Amino acid sequence: MFSTINRDHLMGAAVGVGACAVGYYLYTKNEEQVDNFLKKQGINLPTSTSKNYNNMSIEELMETKELLEDLIAEKEVKMSSETIVSSEEV
């Protein structure tokens, strides 16, 4: 049913982690160029800079509000499921 972990599995995992590390390193070195390329393709990535909410349109504020509400709901679900798991362990 389940196969045991062998050397090939470990090698694959190590190669995957290494590839991710190299990709992340290259992205951080060329972040501006990559982000500009993605924007030209129609993919807008969220930026880490703080937003000036006073200059946002109503639509942008509503989108931000919905995003925050979704994040809050996800965290609440995660916290409640962690609480249930920890209370079951007792």
Give the pLDDT score at 86.
62
Q: What is the mean pLDDT of each run of 10 residues along the chain (90 residues)?
A: 79 95 92 88 73 86 93 90 65
Listed in sequence order, the residues at least 6 apart from 51 whose beta carbon sits closer than 8 Å to its beta carbon are 64
CB 26 within 8 A of CB 39: no
What is residue 23's predicted lDDT score, i.e. its pLDDT? 93
DSSP code of residue 74: H
Distance CA(82)–CA(87), nearest Å, equals 8
